[in-house]
Amino acid sequence: MRILLCVLALLGTALAHKSYEGYQVLQTEDLPDVSSVRKLASLHMMEELDFWQTPRVGGRATIMVPKHLVAPVKFTLATLGLNPTVLIPNVETIGSSYEGRPMRVLKLANGPSAKPAIFFDSAIHAREWMGPPTVMYVINELTDNLGANQAILDKNDFYFLLVSNPDGYTFTWSDDRLWRKTRSPNSGSNCIGTDPNRNFDQNWAGGGTGIPCSETYAGSAPFSEPETKAISDFIAATPSITFAQSVHSYGQYLLHPYGDSTDLPPNVAELTRVGTDALDALQAVSGTRYTLGSVANVLYFAYGSTTDWSYVQQGIDLSYTIELPGGGSAGFNPPPSDIQGVVTETWEAYKVFFQNIPNARR
């Protein structure tokens, strides 16, 4: 009996995910001198505080604080004259995957009042590994390198969902490097998974659902997958999001709606102008060329995608899918030495996007 209880306890520990509900990440101003660094010493020694950036002269302290300590830590930092701001208002998640993994959106914002916001998602297709480092680089620029990018965060809020398909992504590490879909079972079939980028409720299954064994199976119903349901609920509940960037690989395409028709969207001139400016900045780094256009015109028909849903159903006029580099003999699995070049050139495109964020949805 005791052994059974131990096993159950261990299982419970393994299955339970730590909740970060109400946790905040606070950031000080640049610490001007040794005495301002010393002022933080007592906080630094508190076990419950997680210093993401260690205090040093000329740098900022970035501290993750559990809910019950947010008010006293803010008070202490203010009393010490270190002017804290809230970098991440709530560290917790937007939902769970089919297998119960948490889906965490990271919010970066300078101040509590909502500004026009940018939403990034990556790895909705599990094997497209270039996406998360590309988005992580943006996060890094807006946190560790905030000094150089303060104006961007002063103007806009940011939401990042790095791993949009956590079950599939985990499976690409453990079992099958080239897995694409979710990991939910399909009744009447031995084949697992739905293509989450065919599962959104915009002309869902417009070309037919496909068969469950297909890599582009649209699922049993719109938003049948908990992952797409969580993402769409989050975007719908966050009307400040006016720009959406869905990060995929590979192909070197910058794609805008529509995927379900060769008709062009009403603001195609704006989508083309902003996209062209962004790609010019990217190409200037080391000559990488992208093709810009609507999905159905430059690629193929794709029904029920994130980007079409954001554009049509949510009125997010600047909704793009980017297909990062890879390809050739590298396929979906370019060498790690390629990552730095891709993330830095893509950041140049993103800075252009950030200068063109709409104030409101359509």
CB closer to ligand 0X9 out of 23 and 171: 171
Buried b (16+ CB within 10 A) or exposed e, 166-181: bbbbbbbeeeeeebbb
185 to 224: interface string for ligand 0X9, x by CB under 6 A: ------------x---------------------------
Of 39, 115, 248, 256, the residue at the interface with Zn ion (CB under 5 A) is 248
3: which 2 tokens? 């052994």
Query: Where are the strands (E) in the chain, listed by range?
Result: 24-27, 50-53, 62-65, 85-88, 95-96, 102-103, 106-108, 117-122, 157-161, 241-249, 253-256, 291-294, 318-324
Nearest distance in Å: CB 304, ligand 0X9? 9
Of 125, 127, 198, 256, the residue at the interface with Zn ion (CB under 5 A) is 125
181 binds ligand 0X9 (CB under 6 A): no
127 binds ligand 0X9 (CB under 6 A): no
Nearest distance in Å: CB 138, Zn ion? 18
Residue 39 CA: distances (Å) to CA of 45, 53, 71, 147: 12, 15, 18, 22
Residue 237 CA: distances (Å) to CA of 121, 229, 231, 297, 337: 16, 12, 10, 31, 39
127 binds Zn ion (CB under 5 A): no
135: left (phi over 0), alpha (psi -120 to 50) or beta: alpha
30: which 2 tokens? 């640049």
- Our answer to whether residue 323 is catalytic in this structure is yes
Judged by CB under 6 A, the stretch of 58-66, 86-94, 203-211, 305-313 that binds ligand 0X9 is: 305-313
305 binds ligand 0X9 (CB under 6 A): yes
Choice among 128, 141, 225, 323 that is catalytic: 323
Distance CA 355, CA 350 (A): 9
Distance CA 305, CA 195 (A): 9
Count of residues touching Zn ion (by CB under 5 A): 3
CB closer to Zn ion out of 168 and 265: 168
Nearest distance in Å: CB 143, ligand 0X9? 27
- Measure CA 2 to chain center: 44
Of 295, 318, 322, 324, the residue at the interface with ligand 0X9 (CB under 6 A) is 295
6 to 45: interface string for ligand 0X9, x by CB under 6 A: ----------------------------------------
Distance CA 151, CA 340 (A): 24
248 binds ligand 0X9 (CB under 6 A): yes
Q: Choosing among Zn ion, ligand 0X9, none, which partner's interface includes residue 31 (Cβ < 5 to 8 Å by kind)? A: none
**Catalytic site positions:** 323
